[in-house]
Structure 1
Amino acid sequence: MQGIMTGKDILHKMKAKAGFGSSSSDTGKGKSKMSKHITHGYQLIKGKSNHDMEDYIVAQFKKVQDNELGLFAIFDGHSGHDVADYLQSHLFDNILNEPDFWTDTESAIRRAYFVTDSTILEKAVDLGRGGSTAVTAILINGQKLFVANVGDSRAVICKNGEAIQLSVDHEPSMEKKSIESRGGFVSNLPGDVPRVDGQLAVARAFGDKSLKRHLSSEPHVTVEMIDDDTEFAIFASDGLWKVMTNQEAVDSIKHIKDALPAAKHLAEEAVNKKSKDDISCIVVKFH
């Protein structure tokens, strides 16, 4: 017998249609209305852990005034998924509501990251003490791409067959001095990777109230012009990058014409390579 659809089910369907995703397996696609040749596809696959899916994505084209924005993001939650869910719903709105978004986009992104993180910390009673990494991309009129990130979710573009990383993996070992200057420490124990205060394997993240004195939420921001040599972009959580290099990811999909099959192929390749983490992947094709 068919069950009754709850409000949560309806919201999930609405989000999926709009290009928001997170479940055991979510997939979708879309295309630019301004530049018909620009398309996107996404795939999420839940990992083998016992906790709920903690990856969230945004992938949509949005008309703002006389401009079209491509909004793409990967949010990889940890110690719970509420912070990542909050980011999915609020971060882009906060960026676009910055008064100087159109005149100084990079500063607007940096300020919105700070404001959003501050709000998450204030709402820790409701959202919990967990956190999330993020990689966000704003494509303006199909020509100019602003990429920002905190943590180890990654953005890679392909130009003439070559993989170019636009984000920075914020690893604790790379930021050890700044972490120690704030009173924290970096340790490989327990476990086998460097962690802030022996707990978190990234040096920058949203939330994580208990570690915030020793963490940063300052994003790395890159601006990339989309030209005739730019073939496609990949945005993905570390569930993909733990088992594939940038060039391997690019090489595995460069002969796949459509964005959605490309995103599906990448996620499935990560599973085949024994990734146990949640995997979320967006592919944006420019030609």
Structure 2
Amino acid sequence: MGAMHGKCCCKCSTSSDGDDKEEPRGVYTGQNTHILANLSLDFVDVPSHRFRLGYTVLTQRGYYPESPDKENQDSYCIRTNIQGNPNVHFFGVFDGHGLFGTQCSNFVKDRLIEILSTDAALVDDPVNAYSAAFLATNDELHNSEIDDSMSGTTAITALVIGDKLYVANVGDSRAVLAVNEGDPGIQSWGDEETDGNDPPRLWVQDGMYPGTAFTRSVGDSMAERIGVIADPEVSTVQLTSSHPFFVVASDGVFEFLSSQTVVDMVNKYADPRDACSAIAAQSYKLWLEHENRTDDITIIIVQIKDLTNV
């Protein structure tokens, strides 16, 4: 099984103090959590093309021996039936960084989907809607009470509209679309495994600027002065019966695991909840083999079930 990869209803989140909080049906969000135990597996139909999606999510706070109380700066959002449309579903992971990375991550998690959901052109022109939503969210973050001068967040999001998958990425997280063996090609969308698509925007002669180490970010207002942008890379894929699942995850997973390894691990388990746990455990293990800490880890696995090519 190959991988297409890119730098590319319901219940509640677990808050930072461990208490469950009810949320509207069709919405999952999460932030500041250590680990989500008793993972749920939920399903949503895509009636326009007669298939369904099964999805689960896991997030785990990193291990920081010098900062044992450091918050999980990852957050995630799953929203189904966007705009009341049963064929439109959203999955996103947001990896905050900097002193106020947690606040940035949570802000973007909440506002990006709200702005997308109110765009009347979302279904007809999702690529432009995506770009507009990212830029508007970035502006709102700059104008909020959060100090994003040296803090921000990555965002890797996947939007299903009928049998199309739209992946929008800002930063170094990743989405991976599995491809059954025998089908042609592995496509990439500018992640670090196949880097080289972004122009060299971040050159300042005789200058030193603190902040983000990548060229796209939401927030990081100081780094914007030298070329960091919030405009996402957006890619479109026609889903077929050759695509059994996709994964959306933070770089806590992909720092030491390749896209192909993640695909192979998901394919090994019949239940994606078991795959989430295995990927988190392996990521954690590899971090500690290379460093004395681990990053925050967040994984969404979405199964694509019963899709035919008819």
Match of 1:94 in 2: 115
Whole-angstrom CA distance in 1 between matches of 2:224 and 2:287? 32
Instruction: Report the secondary structure of 2:94's partner residue.
Output: strand
1:81-114: CA deviation from partner (whole Å, max 9, x where unpaired)? 1111011111011112223212211011111111
1:14 alignment partner, one of 8, 11, 22: 22
- Three-state SS of the structure 1 residue aligned to 2:115 is helix
Post-superposition offset of 1:249? 0.8
The alignment partner of 2:127 has SS state of helix
Which residue of 157, 171, 185 corresponds with 1:136?
A: 157
- Counterpart of 1:191? none
Report the more deviating stretch, 31-40 or 162-171: 162-171
Q: Which among 178, 196, 200 is matched to residue 158 of structure 1?
A: 178
Gaps in structure 2 of 5+ consecutive residues: 1-14, 289-293, 306-310
Question: What does residue 222 of structure 1 align with?
Answer: 235
Deviation for aligned residue 1:165:
5.8
After the TM superposition, which of the residue ranges 14-23 and 244-253 deviates more from structure 2? 14-23
Q: 1:266 Cα deviation (Å)?
A: 1.4
Q: Which residue of 2 aligns with 1:210?
A: 222
Letter of the aligned partner of 1:286 in structure 2? Answer: I
Paired residue type of 2:235: T
**How far apart, CA to CA, are the structure 1 residues paired with 2:95 and 2:191?**
13
Q: What's the TM-score once normalised by structure 1's chain length?
A: 0.83
What secondary structure, in the 3-state scheme, does the structure 2 residue paired with 1:145 have?
strand
CA–CA separation in structure 1 for the residues paired with 2:257 and 2:121: 38
CA distance in 2, matches of 1:216, 1:71: 23
1-side partners of 2:199 and 2:243: how far apart?
35
Q: Give the helix-richer structure, 1 or 2.
A: 1
Q: What does 1:110-121 align with in structure 2 at a 5 Å threshold?
A: 110-121=131-142
Distance 1:32 1:52 in 2: 31
The runs of 5 or more residues in structure 1 that have no matched partner are 1-6, 188-196
Question: Quick one: distance in 2 between partners of 1:99 and 1:177?
Answer: 35
Corresponding residue for residue 45 of structure 1: 60
Q: Distance in 1 between the 2:283 and 2:178 partners?
A: 19
Structural RMSD (CA): 2.8
**Alignment map for 1:1-287 (pairs within 5 Å):** 13-15=21-23, 18-22=27-31, 23-26=33-36, 27-34=39-46, 37-49=52-64, 50=67, 51-62=70-81, 64-79=83-98, 80=100, 81-123=102-144, 125-129=145-149, 130-141=151-162, 143-161=163-181, 164=186, 167-169=189-191, 174=196, 175=198, 177-180=200-203, 183=204, 197=209, 199-214=211-226, 215-274=228-287, 276-287=294-305
1:177–1:33 distance in 2 versus 1, CA, 3 Å: closer
Q: Aligned partners of 1:147 and 1:164: how far apart in 2?
A: 16
What is the CA–CA distance in structure 1 between the aligned matches of 2:119 and 2:19, rounded to whole Å?
27
Quickly say closer, same or farther: Cα 1:16–1:100, change in 2 above 3 A.
closer
- The answer as to whether partners of 2:34 and 2:72 remain within 8 angstroms in 1 is yes
| 1:193 matched residue in structure 2 | none
Distance, in Å, in 1 between the alignment partners of 2:189 and 2:206 is 24
Deviation at 1:272, TM superposition (A): 2.1
8 Å Cα contact 2:83-2:118 kept in structure 1: no
Contact 1:147 1:223 survives alignment (8 Å): yes
Give me the whole-angstrom Cα distance separating, in 2, the residues matched to 1:37 and 1:244. Answer: 28
What secondary structure does 1:230 align onto?
coil
Q: % of aligned pairs identical? A: 23
Which letter does structure 2 place at the counterpart of 1:280? T
Structure with greater contact order relative to length (CA < 8 Å, sep ≥ 6) = 2
Cα distance in 2 for residues equivalent to 1:100 and 1:186: 42
Q: Classify the secondary structure of the residue corresponding to 1:218.
A: coil
Are the equivalent residues in 1 in contact too, given 2:80–2:86 (CA < 8 A)?
no
